[in-house]
Structures are given as C-alpha cells and as structure tokens.
C-alpha cells in the first residue's frame, strides 16, 4: 500500500534525414524492444491524403534512435544522418499488412497508416496521414 505504480514508458519514433547515395528519410517505430524501419524516398507525408512509398529495411537497435553523424564510406548506409523528428508513438493496430498509429513529435503529430503495397513487392508499403 504505499507503493507507487510504475509508469510505463511510451514507445518512440524517429525520422532520420539520411544523405546516402540518394537523399531519403529513415522512419522508425519502436515495437518489441527494437526499431521497425522503413526508407521513405520522398519524405514524410504531412497532409492527409498524401501517400508515400516506404520500403521496409532491417530492424535497428533502440540506441540508434539518437544517432546523428557520418557513416564512413565503404560501410552500409555511408553518408550523413540527422534527426529530422522524434517523439512518442502509439499503435492502434499492428497487423502483418496494416499498421495504424499516432505520432506525437515536434513536426509530425496525428494519425498515420502504413499499408503493405503487395503489387510493388514484399517490402514496399504506402505511408499516409489519416
């Protein structure tokens, strides 16, 4: 009875602007202790109805959410990385082909959806603000 209830930390998201071979944005959502990740070539949608291709890439460790700097030539992802936005996220639905979530960041706020774009390939998704 005098014990404080532990508050659970909200999952995080991060968007990293990544100037590698081509400029793209790495979008990452925390799930099960790691960052599920997508490369978004044309940037994050900020208006409702805008859909952007998001290519699923390998998961990253949570520590990578704070990474900014240079990845040396010859290494995977060589180029510069800067944090474009970050904050917390809350998944409303996480299915194999559809993820609905709410972002609360500095630039991105509101409800978003990732839907697997099966006609384009196994790793391709469409990302939109809903």
Confidence of residue 1 (pLDDT cuts 50, 70, 90): very low
Reply yes or no on whether the pLDDT at 6 is more than 80.
no
State whether the Cα torsion 15-34-127-8 is positive or negative.
Answer: negative
- Least confident stretch, 4-8, 25-29, 72-76, 104-108: 4-8
- Report H helices in 52-122: none
Q: How far is CA 130 from CA 43, 66, 94, 98, 108, in A?
A: 16, 27, 15, 13, 12
Q: How far apart are CA 52 and CA 128, in angstroms?
A: 6
Alpha-carbon distance of 45 to 77, in angstroms, equals 23
**Residues 93 and 100 sit within 8 Å (Cβ to Cβ):** yes
pTM for the full predicted model: 0.90
At 29-88, the pLDDT tens digits run 999 999 999 999 999 999 998 999 999 999 999 999 999 999 999 988 889 999 999 999
Joined together, the tokens standing for residue 17 give 């602007």
pLDDT value, residue 3: 45
């Amino acid at each position: 009875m005098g014990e404080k209830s532990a508050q659970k930390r909200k999952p995080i998201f991060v968007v990293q602007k990544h100037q590698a071979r081509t400029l793209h944005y790495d979008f990452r959502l925390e799930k099960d202790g790691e960052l599920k990740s997508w490369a978004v070539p044309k940037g994050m949608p900020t208006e409702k109805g805008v859909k952007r291709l998001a290519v699923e890439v390998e998961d990253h460790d949570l520590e990578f959410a704070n990474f900014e700097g240079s990845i040396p030539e010859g290494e995977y992802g060589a180029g510069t990385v800067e944090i474009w936005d970050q904050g917390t996220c809350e998944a409303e639905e996480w299915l194999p082909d559809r993820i609905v979530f709410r972002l609360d960041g500095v630039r991105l706020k509101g409800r978003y959806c990732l839907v697997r774009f099966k006609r384009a390939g196994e790793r391709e998704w469409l990302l939109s603000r809903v």
